Each structure stands twice: as structure tokens, then as C-alpha cells.
Amino acid sequence: MQLTHFAPATNMLWRHIESCGHDPEPVFRKAGINPALLNKSDARINIEHVDELWRLTVDLLDDPCFGIKMTDNWHPSFVGALGYAWCASSSLRTAFNRVVRYIHVVTEDLNIRLSDTPDGLKVIADLEHSIFTLPQHHDVVLGVLMHMCRFNYGDDLHPAEVQLAHTKPRCSSIIEDFFQAPVTYDAPETSLTIAREYIDSELASSNKQLALLHDEFLMKYLVEIKKGDLVQQIQSVIIENLPSGKVTDNLIAKELNLSERSLQRKLHEKGTSFRHVLDEVRKMAAIQYIKNPVNTMSDIAFLLGFSEQSAFSRAFKKWTGTSPVKYRKSLD
């Protein structure tokens, strides 16, 4: 399955190349990327083309620190619904939790991990197994995350620590000036640490209902872009058909042009079953819907395909050990 990258995210690189006095179009076309895709919110690009674009840009600019410099061009729309969900998050911690869950909406070849440390929340960019190996890739990932934090919290936010898994460049002062924090080069991982006094503070831009609306979209979109995997394909069909209340293995098999027996066999080979996948999708969607106070329990039961609210309540308690009403109250 080919990994993909959210096309509008490459706008940052386009704008930076332009700001350096070069025409970005020939660079993008040489990398196999149609510039018209940059303004299409549903467009995705093969990850290998994006990697080639970066390598061409490195040769063109001859600037080891352009990864940090290009963060000035960041805009929420460049990472789609994740950017707007970030802006509406109640705290930087909840914002980072969204990034962990939905980073593949932006790029499928990057994972973000979080770790609580004595100095604060460490945000780790897992690039070890990624196609993105350039030093500028490490810089731009941390730089964008830092820029997003300041976008919400304010320009006076400084990380407690920054680690970069590449050698110290000749322009290191630009990186250090950007972060305004100690930077360790040749580190075992690429990460930044945000102190607790910042990470858990209530943000003035917080808008819970808006953030949850974007979460619901991101959840469905993430399943959609993973369609190359059989389980993800099944999840996508389930989500589309849940409100009908008629999600069966027969329906799924027909949608995927498989026989029921073939579908069951393929799922068995993956160590799962149709019932397990259905329950996991319902549980994931239920938790997301419950977080939004606009949704009544009867509405949620309908959205999940349950004929009665009581059936939904029993299923939710089986999944989580508590009732949907108690679960919602625990979020207050």
C-alpha cells in the first residue's frame, strides 16, 4: 500500500521556495507533483514524491536551516481539520493528543509519541523508520509543532528542552533563536519538552464543541485514507452504514466484492473477526459522539445503528465497564 501525504501541507515548502526568490512550480513538477493539488482539501500525494520534492529543495536552496525558517509560512488549513481542531483544543496537552491520534491525516510516514517526564511533556517525532531522513525534516516537524503551540499559547512560550537527531549545522544559531531553549544535537531522538505550567493551562482559544466536530471528521477521514488495508476498508464501510442499523458481514462482503466465507477467512488470517471489527468501530464512534454534549444518548444510539437506547447502553458498558451517561459525566 502506498503511503500518502496531505497535498495542502506542501504549501509551506512552496511559499518558502518563493520567498527565497525561486519559482516553485518547476521544482514541484520535477518531483512529480501537480501544483494544482495544493489547494484541494481532499488531495493526497505519494510520499515518495514529497521526499523527492524535499531533496530537490535542499539542492536548490543550499540552506541547512530552511526547515526552521519555513515554519513562518504555517497556516491551520495546511494540515486540514487537524489544524482547526488544534486551534480549538482546551490545552496544549489535548492538542498534542489529537496530533498523536490523527497525524496520519497529514502524513502517513510519521508517528508522534508523548511521554511525561519530570521536566514536562516530551513530544517525540518518530522518524527512525520514516522515508523523511533529512536534517531539515527533523527541524520542520519540531518547528511546526512549536509554532502551533505559540499560535495557541503566545509567542512567549519556550520549550524546556529540544533534541535533534542530526549533527549541529553551521547555522545552528537560527535554530536556537527560534526555540529560545537549550538544543541538543546528535540526540538519540528528535523531541521537544513543554513544561507542565504551559502544557495543562486552559487556552483562551478553547472551543470544545468546534474541536469535537473536527474530531468526528478526522476519525472518518483517517479510516477513509487507510482503505488499502482490508480491516480499514471494512471500518470505512461500517461507518458509512451504521445509522441504517443493517451492518452485517453479508453487506460488508458485497461492498468489497467478496463472499462471506472469503471475508471471514481473510479476517481470521489477520487475527480478528467481523464482530470484533464492528464492536471496535462502534466503541470508537460512541466515545467520540459522547464527548459532544449536543448529541443525546438516543441520537448516539441511532448513529451507531442500535434499535433501542437500552441496547446501546448495554453494549457501551460491555466495552468500557461503565454506562454512557456516567462516562459523559466523568468528562466534566
Instruction: Write the pLDDT tens digit of every residue in 233-252.
Output: 788 778 777 877 778 888 88
Whether 122 and 194 share a structural domain: yes
Q: How many residues does the chain have?
A: 332
For residue 225, is pLDDT > 80?
no
The reply to whether 55 falls in a domain is yes
Helix, strand, or coil here: 47?
Answer: helix
- pLDDT above 90 covers a percentage of the chain that reads 59
Cell triple for 219:
476519525
Tell me, what's the pLDDT at 244?
Answer: 75
Whether 159 and 77 share a structural domain: yes
Confirm if 194 and 149 have CB atoms less than 8 A apart.
yes
For residue 95, is pLDDT > 70?
yes
- Residue ending a domain, choose from 162, 184, 199: 199
For residue 224, is pLDDT > 80?
no
The reply to whether 317 falls in a domain is yes
- DSSP secondary structure of 78-119: GGTHHHHHHHT-SSHHHHHHHHHHHHHHHBTT-EEEEEEETT
The reply to whether 208 falls in a domain is no
For residue 185, the enclosing domain spans: 4-199
Tell me, what's the pLDDT at 292?
Answer: 79
Q: What mean pLDDT do residues 214-242 have?
A: 77
Whether 70 and 182 share a structural domain: yes
* CATH for 310: 1.10.10.60
For residue 168, is pLDDT > 70?
yes
For residue 255, is pLDDT > 60?
yes
List, for residues 171-194, the tens digit of each pLDDT value: 999 999 999 998 999 999 999 999
Rg of the chain taking only CA atoms, in angstroms:
22
**Residue 176 contacts by C-beta under 8 Å, 6 or more apart in sequence?**
183
Whether 114 and 179 share a structural domain: yes
Whether 190 and 230 share a structural domain: no
3-state helix, strand, coil in the chain (%, to 5): 60, 10, 30
The reply to whether 82 falls in a domain is yes
User: How far, in Å, CA of 158 to CA of 78, rounded?
Assistant: 23
Tell me, what's the pLDDT at 169?
Answer: 96
User: How far, in Å, CA of 172 to CA of 176, rounded?
Assistant: 6
Confirm if 1 and 229 have CB atoms less than 8 A apart.
yes
Residue 288 or residue 226, greater confidence: 288
The reply to whether 252 falls in a domain is yes
pTM: 0.73
Split into its structural domains, the chain has a count of: 2
List, for residues 106-137, the tens digit of each pLDDT value: 998 999 999 999 999 999 999 877 888 899 99
259 CB-contact burial (10 Å; exposed 0-12 / middle 13-18 / buried 19+): exposed
Would the CA dihedral through 154, 91, 195, 122 be positive or negative?
A: negative
Tell me, what's the pLDDT at 47?
Answer: 92
| 228 — pLDDT class (breaks 50, 70, 90) | low
The reply to whether 138 falls in a domain is yes
Tell me, what's the pLDDT at 235?
Answer: 80
List, for residues 22-74, the tens digit of each pLDDT value: 999 999 999 999 999 998 888 899 999 999 999 999 999 999 999 999 999 99
* CATH for 129: 3.90.1520
> What is the separation, in whole angstroms, between the first and last Cα of the chain?
41
Using alpha carbons only, what angle is made at residue 195 by residues 162 and 328, rounded to the nearest 5 degrees? 125
Whether 237 and 131 share a structural domain: no
User: How far, in Å, CA of 158 to CA of 151, rounded?
Assistant: 12
Cell triple for 307:
434499535
Tell me, what's the pLDDT at 227?
Answer: 63
The reply to whether 215 falls in a domain is no
Whether 56 and 177 share a structural domain: yes
Which region holds residue 274: left if phi is over 0, alpha if psi is between -120 and 50, else beta?
A: alpha
In the DSSP assignment, the letter for residue 38 is: G
